[in-house]
Amino acid sequence: MLKTETPSRRHPDLDLYPVEQLVAALVDDQFWAVEAVRLASPDIAAAITAALPRIAAGGRLLYVGAGTSGRLGVLDSVELTPTFSWPPERAVAILAGGAGAMFAAVEGAEDDVQQGERDLLALQPQVNDVVILLAASGATPYVLGALLAARTAGALTIGIANNVDAPVAHEAQCGIVLDTGTEVISGSTRLKAGTAQKITLNTISSALMVGLHKTYGNLMVDLKPTNAKLIWRAVRLTMHATGASEMQARAVLEQCHYHVKVAIVALIKKINTNQAQALLAGADGSVRAALAA
C-alpha cells in the first residue's frame, strides 16, 4: 500500500480527541511537509536549473494534475501574473475533469490516461516548455498520459509525487519525491502531501522568476498593479529601493504606468522613464544591470 494511503499509527483515536488535541495533531503533522521538501531540495534545485534556460528562451510553464494536486497547479499558475507580470498564456494549468473540477470533484476523471494525453497535446507543447506534473500517489493515470505527451513533444518534464518509487517521478526528466508519509486522516492528501506540493511549487516558480530578473534584491519589482492595494505596494517598493518621497515615487510611476522597475532605474539614474526603459531592455530586464550601465 502507498504511504499516502496507509492509515497513520500515530492517531488511531483521532475522533476521540478534544479540540485542542485535535488541532495540535493536525498542525504538528504539517511540519513533516517542510522536512520532506527540505530533503528533496537537491532535486528541486536540479529541476529549476534545467527549466530556467527553456523559460528564458520563451517557453511556458504547463501544470498538470488531478484533485488537490491539480488545483494547486492552477493556483500557482494564476498567481504569477499579478505577482510578476508573467503573461497568463505562459503559465497554463490543466486539471483532470476540466475547469469545472476546480470547484467540484469530477468522478473518474483522473483515471483517464488518454484524456490526459489529449489535454496536454491541445496545448501544443514545444521543446522550450516546462511541464510540471503533480500526483500525490505518483501514479495518477491522467497525469501519466500527459507526461507521455509532454516527453514525446520534447518538453522538459518535472514530476512531483509523495511516494517513493512513484512512476511520475521516475519517468519525468526531473523527478521530485516529497516523502510525507501517512496522513493524520488516512489518505487525505489535501493535508501535508498537499502542503509539501504547495511549498515546492512556490519554490520552483519563484526561483524561476528571480532568475528572470523579476526581483531587485528581494523586492517584487515586476508586479502588475491591478488594484489599489498593489498600486500602493508599487509606491512603497519604489520608495524603499530609491529613497524617494511618496510624491516623487508616484510622479515617476504615473509616467511609466506603475512599472516599478522603470521607476527605480529612472529615479536612481536621474533619467526619464523612456531612457530607463531602454536601459532595462538592453539589460534583459535586470534592474542591477541597468543601474550599472
- Mind listing the pLDDT tens digit for each residue in 138-190? 999 999 999 999 999 999 999 999 999 999 999 999 999 999 999 999 999 99
State the amino acid at position 83 in one-letter form. T
**Alpha helix (H) ranges present in the chain?**
19-29, 31-39, 41-56, 67-84, 113-121, 141-153, 167-171, 192-211, 228-242, 246-255, 260-269, 273-282, 287-292
Angle 214-215-221 (CA atoms, 0-180°, nearest 5)? 90
Judging by beta carbons within 10 Å of its beta carbon (0-12, 13-18, 19+), is residue 40 exposed, middle or buried? buried
The string of DSSP letters for 120-172 reads HHTT---TT-EEEEEESSS--HHHHHHHHHHHHHT-EEEEEESSTT-HHHHHS
Residue with cell 484533485: 67
**Tens of pLDDT, residues 6-54:** 888 989 999 999 999 999 999 999 999 999 999 999 999 999 999 999 9
User: In whole angstroms, what is the distance from residue 70 CA to residue 278 CA?
Assistant: 40
The CATH homologous superfamily to which domain 3-212 belongs is Glucose-6-phosphate isomerase like protein; domain 1 (3.40.50.10490)
Coil, strand or helix: which one is 247?
helix
What is the average per-residue pLDDT within 60-73?
Answer: 97
pLDDT reported for residue 105: 84
Confidence of residue 107 (pLDDT cuts 50, 70, 90): confident
What is the average per-residue pLDDT within 223-229?
Answer: 92
Domain 3-212 matches domain 215-292 at the CATH topology level: no
Domain over 215-292 is classified CATH 3.10.20.340: no
What does pTM read for this prediction?
0.95
Mean pLDDT, all residues of the chain:
96
Task: Give the start-to-end residue ranges of the domains of the chain.
Answer: 3-212, 215-292
Residues tagged active-site: 79, 110
